[in-house]
Amino acid sequence: MIALHSFVSLFLTGVYLVLLIYLIRGWANIKVNKAAAKAPFHTRVTVLIAARNEEERISLTIEDVLAQDYPKHLLEVIIVDDHSTDNTAAIISSYAHRGVKLLKLNEAEPLNSYKKKAIAEAINLSSGDLMVATDADCRMGPAWLSSIVTYYETHDLVMVSSPVTYFEERSLFELMQTLEFGYLIGIGAAFIGNGRASTCNGANFAYSKEVFYKVGGFKGIDDLASGDDELLLQKVAERYPGKIGFLKQSDAVVYTHAKHTLQEFMQQRRRWASKSTKYKDKKVVAFGICIWLFNVSLLVNAGLGFYDLYFLKLFLVQFLLKYLFEIIYLLPITAFFKRTYLVSLLILLIPVHIIYFVVIGLIGNNHKYLWKGRVVK
C-alpha cells in the first residue's frame, strides 16, 4: 500500500514538473516585442470598460485612457455603468465633453452575467473595429493602445492578450498575490506561446469586433457571471487557431490592485474557478485537475508525515522539486515585470498556495459567490 501511495505521489509530481516545463517553454517561445509603434495607424479602436461602484479610482483610469498617444480621431471610449449605487455614473458623465460615452444598463429582469451584458451592449454601440477591454480600476501608460494596435496590425491577429500585474501593494499578503498572479498570467502567455490559447485576463484584452460577432459573442457562455475573457478567447481559438497573440511588451502592461483582505481574495478566486466547467479545451481542464491532484498529494503526505517519517520525506522531495521548478518558471516572468525580487517570497507562498488551491478546487464550482455586491454563480 505504501509502495502504491509513493508511486502515485511521485507520478503526480512528475506530471506537474512536465507541465511546468511546458509553461517554461511556452513563455520562452514568446519573444519580447520591441517594435516601436508604427504610424500611420488605420485601426479604429473602441476602449470598453464595464464599471460598478468604482468612484474611488475610475477617474484615474479614464485620465490614463484619454492620455494615450494613439490618434484621437481613431479612438472611442465607452464606459458602461452597471447599476452603480455611488457616484460612478456622475464621474463618467463629467468626461462627456472629452468624448467619453456613458451607457447605463437598465434591465427589467435580473441577470446572472451583468458584465457580459455590459460589454455586449457597448460593442453594439461601438464604431471601432478593434475592441480593447480593460477594468475601471486599472492604470496604464500612454503607449498602451499604440503598442497593442501595432502588434495587432503587424501580426494579422484577431485577438490579443496582454500582460496584467498588481502594483502599489501595501502588505506581504498583497505582494504574495502579485507573485501568484504572475504565475497565472504566465500560464495564459505560455499556452499561447505553445500554440494553444486557453486563458487570459479581461483587464487587458483586445479583439476584432467582426470576429466577436462571427463566433456568436457571449452566446453559450452567458449563463456564468464571469468568463467574458477566457471563455470568449476559447471560442475564438476554436475557430481561428493561430490568430491569437500575447503581447510581451512593457508598454502594454496594465496595472491593477491585489485584494486587501482574505475574504475578497477567496471570492475572486472562486469566481475565476467557476469558469472551468465551461472550458471548451478539455486539455486545459485536465491541466488544472493534474495541478489540483498534485497539491492534494502534497497535503496528504504532509499530514501523514506527522505519523510516519517516510511520508514527511516524500513530502519534502515533492516540495523541493516544486520549489526549484517554480523558481525557474517564475524568474523570467518576474523579470519581464521588473520585479524579480518577488521570487524570494515563493518559499512563503507555496505552503499557503497548496492549501488554498485545494480548497478553491473543492468549492469553486459548487457555490455561489459575492461579486460587486451581488450573489452570483
Helix (H, G, I), strand (E, B) or coil at 356: helix
The arithmetic mean of pLDDT across residues 151-177, rounded, is 96
Please determine, looking at this structure, whether the domain spanning 32-276 carries the CATH number 3.90.550.10: yes
Q: What is the pLDDT of residue 373?
A: 54
Q: What is the pLDDT of residue 377?
A: 52
Instruction: Please say whether the beta carbons of 100 and 92 come within 8 A.
Output: yes
Kindly indicate the confidence band of residue 109, based on its pLDDT and cuts at 50, 70 and 90.
low
Kindly indicate the confidence band of residue 115, based on its pLDDT and cuts at 50, 70 and 90.
confident
pLDDT higher than threshold 70 for residue 225: no
DSSP 229: T
pLDDT higher than threshold 60 for residue 211: yes
DSSP 245-296: EE---GGG-EEE---SSHHHHHHHHHHHHHGGGG-S-HHHHHHHHHHHHHHH
Q: What is the mean pLDDT of the chain?
A: 90
The arithmetic mean of pLDDT across residues 116-122, rounded, is 91
pLDDT higher than threshold 80 for residue 7: yes
Can you tell me the distance from the alpha carbon of 147 to that of 253, in angstroms, rounded to the nearest whole number? 10
* Buried/exposed code over 280-296 (b: 16+ C-beta within 10 A; e: otherwise): ebeebeebbeebbbbbb
The arithmetic mean of pLDDT across residues 92-108, rounded, is 91
Q: What is the pLDDT of residue 105?
A: 87
36 vs 233, more confident: 233
Of 277, 270, 280, 276, the residue nearest 376 (C-alpha): 270
Q: What is the pLDDT of residue 174?
A: 97
34 vs 354, more confident: 354
Q: What is the pLDDT of residue 35?
A: 67
Q: What is the pLDDT of residue 44?
A: 97
Instruction: Please say whether the beta carbons of 342 and 182 come within 8 A.
Output: yes
Can you tell me the distance from the alpha carbon of 191 to that of 26, in angstroms, rounded to the nearest whole number? 6
Q: What is the pLDDT of residue 161?
A: 97
Cα angle at 209 between 233 and 153, to 5 degrees? 85
pLDDT higher than threshold 90 for residue 295: yes
* Residue-wise pLDDT tens digits, 263-292: 888 888 887 776 666 676 677 778 888 899
Q: What is the pLDDT of residue 372?
A: 57
pLDDT higher than threshold 90 for residue 57: yes
The arithmetic mean of pLDDT across residues 187-209, rounded, is 95
Q: What is the pLDDT of residue 278?
A: 67
Tell me what percent of the residues of the chain surpass a pLDDT of 90: 72
The arithmetic mean of pLDDT across residues 172-197, rounded, is 96
209 vs 112, more confident: 209
Q: What is the pLDDT of residue 170?
A: 95
* Residue-wise pLDDT tens digits, 325-376: 999 999 999 999 999 999 999 999 999 999 988 988 887 665 565 545 555 5
Q: What is the pLDDT of residue 22?
A: 96
Give the start-to-end residue ranges of the domains of the chain: 2-26+281-376, 32-276
Q: What is the pLDDT of residue 178?
A: 98
